[in-house]
Amino acid sequence: MIASIPSIPVARPALGEQEAEAVRRVIHSGWVTQGPEVAAFEDEFAAFVGATHACAVSNCTTALHLALKAVGVAAGDEVITVSHSFIATANAIRYCDALPVFVDIEAGGYNIDPNLIEGAITPRTKAILCVHQLGMPCDLRAIVEIGKRRSIPIIEDAACATGSEILWNGQWEKIGKPHGDIACFSFHPRKVITTGDGGMLTTSSPEWDRKFRLWRQHGMSVADTARHGSKQVIFEDYEELGYNYRMTDLQAAIGREQLRRLPGLVRERRQLVGAYCAQLSSIGLSLPIEPKWARSNWQSFCVGLPFELDQRAVMQMLLDQGISSRRGIMNIHLEKAYSSHNSHRAATLLDRSVSAQEETIILPLYSGMTDIELLRVTEALRQHCAEAIKDGPLLIS
């Protein structure tokens, strides 16, 4: 690599002075674990997405665990989901001693194919866990309709989808406004907003919200803040098995700043994707399609490679020019942790899921990405595509 060319990362968290200042404020307050900042972050997040309840937790994986537990997923149950996702989606199902049942993704996209869901339902199906992959809303209207008709709860893995929107009864609504039963978000640095690590559950059910609050704090009957603020001695009870899934006030203070910046961050990402699409439309890559009823936050920008191009070679060519990329989203069923027969069930062929991993790459996209950086990526691809197609056996339309 030529040292004078600055490298282009695949992603970069949008953290600055405001976040640093927020953490300072919390440190000097003397209260650093789950407390008033978490409560404020929850209120602000609920208002932002349009949910009545938002409960902050340590990350999205723990959020998924609590969501599945809340709808009653337990040993021997089945949960329908996709293999084409980050492994945490299916791991959370296994934490409940339940079986992930994989169906394939749609043609021309990276989300669950709603047409395959009904065929995967059995008497043991306890939930459908759909994913808004890469920030692109999945077809919630179709999925929620199946859930209602078959009385199966819908949990949304919205890890990547903070700030994404869906057209719902003629209105643009945020993912997380309860369309399904519970939505789970991630604030890992690879997502659009971050708290280092962190997660959030939104729902319209006060009963489930109460459960989340109990379970995230060891099953303890009294919150720390209530005990510390009380003028009377309070002894807590432990009503049932709980976990330590708390978010800290340090994280929540960062989250509040990030949430304020989110609309601007999404606007910027949508502009960058517009520029990418304009540059890449004519070189033979398959560009992601945003359905008319969806507005992605573009957590990731994933493009399909033409048949002539080898994924690893393209990624190496980019890396040689100082440009990071990632291959397409993984397939959970291909991992060793899922090799045993009782780890999952494939209810359909998973061909599209496998192709999506092998024949796509994720390109750099981050707040502050310049036009010049974007052009460096698109020009590298343009040149590579032109050479490969010249040498290759097939023409691309």
Ligand X SMILES: *Cc1c(COP(=O)(O)O)cnc(C)c1O
Residues within the interface to ligand X (CB under 6 A): 59-61, 85-86, 88-89, 131, 157, 159-160, 186, 188, 199
Which residue among 148, 191, 231, 292 is the active-site one?
191
Nearer to ligand X, 134 or 388 (CB): 134
Pairing of β 199-203 and β 154-157: unpaired
The answer to whether residue 191 is catalytic is yes
Q: Cβ of residue 58: shortest distance to ligand X, in angstroms?
A: 8
Nearer to ligand X, 84 or 126 (CB): 84
Q: Please tell me whether residue 347 adopts helix, strand or coil conformation.
A: coil
Q: Cα–Cα distance between 19 and 108 in angstroms, integer? A: 38
Q: Which of 169, 168, 204, 166 is nearest to 183 (CA)?
A: 204
Nearer to ligand X, 138 or 381 (CB): 138
**DSSP alpha helix (H) spans, the chain:** 17-29, 36-49, 60-70, 88-95, 140-150, 206-216, 224-229, 249-280, 311-320, 351-358, 371-391
Q: Which of 20, 55, 23 is nearest to 38 (CA)?
A: 55
Task: Specify the amino acid at residue 275.
Answer: A
Pairing of β 326-327 and β 78-82: unpaired
Q: Cβ of residue 184: shortest distance to ligand X, in angstroms?
A: 8
Structure-block tokens of residue 170: 């003629």
Nearer to ligand X, 38 or 131 (CB): 131
Q: Cβ of residue 358: shortest distance to ligand X, in angstroms?
A: 19
Q: Cβ of residue 134: shortest distance to ligand X, in angstroms?
A: 8
Positions marked active-site: 191
